[in-house]
Structure 1
Amino acid sequence: LAGAGSGARAALRAAGHEAVTTVLALAPRLPEDDDPAAEPEPVRHLAGRHVLLVHGTDDRRTDPELSFRLAERAKKANRDVCRFEAHTDGHSLRRYRSEILALSCDFTLGSLCGLPYARTVEDALAAPPPLGLRMPLAAGFGETLRG
């Protein structure tokens, strides 16, 4: 499943379905957690799934820290969770569009087809929190993948 914004939240929520093995969530629009009585977004159903979150650090529509906290909780239930930050990018993730496309393709091909992940993705999945959940998306990512 893949989604952006509210669609990313929907993809994360629907990941509990038995047919889902991989989730790609771009700038997920998550509810503010300023209400201490509010239930946090669920993450247990992400166990056994490959999960990639990408968020722009300058997103003004949804706080990037919320996706970090969700990823942090999800990583406790599932080691196959990673999160990349597109520095100075906003909610639409336009500034690093080609890098995000390359990252998304690499993650999807690795997760669904069993192809080897790029070293950056391998490192993000293997790194303990917070390192693998605050991975900077390097400008030009994907150029080396294309040769």
Structure 2
Amino acid sequence: YTDRLVMRFGARKLVLGGLALFMAGLALFARAPVDGDYVVHILPVMVLLGIGAGLCFPALMTLAMSGATSSDAGLASGLINTTAQVGGALGLAVLATLSASRSNALIGAGEPTAAALTSGYHLAFGIGAGLVVVAIAIAVTVLQPEGQAKEEIEEPVDCEAA
């Protein structure tokens, strides 16, 4: 369904909207209480994250592949997917390390385990939300609104003088 939305609204708007929803979801997770209820504190956030990812990732792929020639499409697709996988793995590793470090420090200081773990997760989700804010700023700067694309530079045509 995202392809129809890209055609109607443009990939840039979907990327920005998806990132905004994703950032909101992470920010809400950063405030989830220790004894939170699934229906109240988890389910709505998961819906935000799912819709945000569903809007953003296909639109990003559309943008990334838009400049690839048919002969380079396989290479471009592989590079995009590999970059996304490696970036996600590195991001998860860093955020999980920060979360575990915070949780262990709080447990060592005598905090109850549930509160310490929740605080560690709050740190990771807060940093994640901050990184998405940076991604939004980059997307606003780099992605040009539809209809305002740079004019293509025309290649000189070889012609012989008479």
More helix by share: 2
User: Is the TM-score greater than 0.5?
Assistant: no
TM-score by length of 1: 0.31
More strand by share: 1
- Using CA pairs below 8 Å that are at least 6 residues apart, which structure has the higher relative contact order? 2
TM-score by length of 2: 0.29
